[in-house]
Structure 1
Amino acid sequence: MKTYKFYLMIAVMMMATVAAKAQTSETSFGLKAGLNYASLPSNLSAITDKKGKIGYNLGAFARIGTSLYFQPELNYVTFKSSYNYAAQTYTPKFHQLNLPLMVGYKLINTDALNFRISAGPDLNYTLNKAVGPAGFDYKKLNVGGVINAGVDIGNLTLDARYSRGFTKINKQLQEKTNLFNLSVGLKVF
């Protein structure tokens, strides 16, 4: 629990710093949608035939700053995975609220075209109860990290992202999350 408090404190400090600079910086807001590919890798040898599945995401983002920027997002994310454990197949499905808090840099920064990279902490809260083996519960709150590469063409944004869970989403099964995401967005103002 101390780890969550530490990440939350860092996120609040980052947002406060960026908010103070926002008065002199460029700020834009947008909507996004995309596809995910998720897997739940595990070190447990009793888990076999692991397969990732396709999901989707919908969300909103803010970008605060010019060349160096802060980009918080709030996304609704769905994904599922499949694996065998104790001679049974399980396909847990997840519906999550996702809060990445990224700091980025625009490698190319023009009015018509931007190439961006960013990284930061990634907080996930599971809204549903994912079904797994009896007695093996999936955690509601998970902390991870995200790296992102993107391009802006006018108001259109395209992003490719990798998110990795730092905490075990299922302690008994020793699972963490891997999530690959491709999304398209539109800056609305």
Structure 2
Amino acid sequence: MRNLKKSVITTALLLFIGFSLTAQNNSAFGFKGGLNYGGNGDYFDSVSLNSSNPDQNIGYHVGIFGKIGNKIYLRPEIVYTVTKSDYDNNDFNVKKIDVPVLVGLKVLGPISVFAGPSAQYILETDFHGVEIDDLQEDFTVGLNFGIGLNFNKIGIDLRYERGFGENEARFIEDNITRNSRIDTRPEQLILSLSIGL
């Protein structure tokens, strides 16, 4: 599993180096950042047998992107993302690396639409001060789709992200072994500003 993680990250980095070395018309490389609004999945408390949905909250992201093509384009990204969900006044924080690979289409002037899979590697999870290490999977796959506006080297996009499969985290709380669990699968709106170099 460690070798798979290393090979995915190495491949993504090599793609970006290739983009920067083969800069040509209709290709770009740059930085992006912005805000996320959403939450993760349900929280189940094994003692009270209650299940609760999260309150939506704001997180953020920063990263780099590459783009090849004009009318139809390929846009891979590497993004550091922090999400936050509220469960009855308790915070659930997730830090992860997202690697979306998007295919886009310019539809009218500066407007484009795009969609594609997003590989996600979870770096850290924290639930009201308790680090959660017992994840089903560190690597998961989700879907991104949205709409973008591009003005020369400046771009703004709004996208929806959803994880495909449940990825539960189980944890020990208050020194008591409990079968409590949280679905770490994200569901969020992402607003980004990108700047090409």
Taking structure 1 as the reference length, the TM-score comes to: 0.74
1:177 equivalent in alignment to 2:186: yes
1:37-76 aligned within 5 A: 37-42=37-42, 46-48=50-52, 50-76=54-80
Instruction: For 2:30, give the aligned amino acid.
Output: G
Do the aligned residues in 2 keep the contact of 1:107 with 1:115 (CA within 8 Å)? yes
Shift of 1:39: 0.9
Structure 2 distance, partners of 1:28, 1:128, is 31
Equivalent position of 1:27 in the other structure? 27
Quick one: structure 1 residues 142 and 43, their matched pair in 2 at CA, closer, same or farther if it must change by over 3 Å? same
Quick one: structure 1 residues 137 and 80, their matched pair in 2 at CA, closer, same or farther if it must change by over 3 Å? farther
Structure 1 distance, partners of 2:112, 2:119, is 21
Instruction: For 2:113, give the aligned amino acid.
Output: I
Quick one: structure 1 residues 135 and 121, their matched pair in 2 at CA, closer, same or farther if it must change by over 3 Å? closer
Q: Secondary structure at the match of 1:41?
A: coil
Structure 2 distance, partners of 1:134, 1:126, is 13
Do the aligned residues in 2 keep the contact of 1:47 with 1:83 (CA within 8 Å)? no
Moved more, 43-52 or 66-75: 43-52
Shift of 1:127: 1.2
What is the identity percentage for the equivalent residue pairs of Structure 1 and Structure 2? Answer: 26
Structure 2 distance, partners of 1:42, 1:141, is 19
Shift of 1:108: 2.4
Shift of 1:145: 0.5
Quick one: structure 1 residues 134 and 66, their matched pair in 2 at CA, closer, same or farther if it must change by over 3 Å? closer
Q: Deviations over 1:94-146 (max 9, x none)?
A: 1111100000101124xxxx211100001111111333789883442121000
Quick one: structure 1 residues 43 and 94, their matched pair in 2 at CA, closer, same or farther if it must change by over 3 Å? closer
* RMSD (CA atoms): 3.2
Taking structure 2 as the reference length, the TM-score comes to: 0.71
Equivalent position of 1:150 in the other structure? 148
Instruction: For 1:162, give the aligned amino acid.
Output: Y
Q: Structure 1: which 5+ residue stretches go unaligned?
A: none
Moved more, 129-138 or 68-77: 129-138
Q: Secondary structure at the match of 2:54?
A: strand
Q: Secondary structure at the match of 2:108?
A: strand
Decide which of 110, 118, 125 is 2:114's aligned counterpart: 118
Decide which of 64, 82, 87 is 1:83's aligned counterpart: 87
Moved more, 174-183 or 22-31: 22-31
Q: Secondary structure at the match of 2:56?
A: strand
Q: Secondary structure at the match of 2:134?
A: coil
Q: Structure 2: which 5+ residue stretches go unaligned?
A: 170-180
Q: State the number of aligned residues.
A: 168
Do the aligned residues in 2 keep the contact of 1:136 with 1:173 (CA within 8 Å)? no
Higher strand share: 2
Quick one: structure 1 residues 108 and 170, their matched pair in 2 at CA, closer, same or farther if it must change by over 3 Å? same
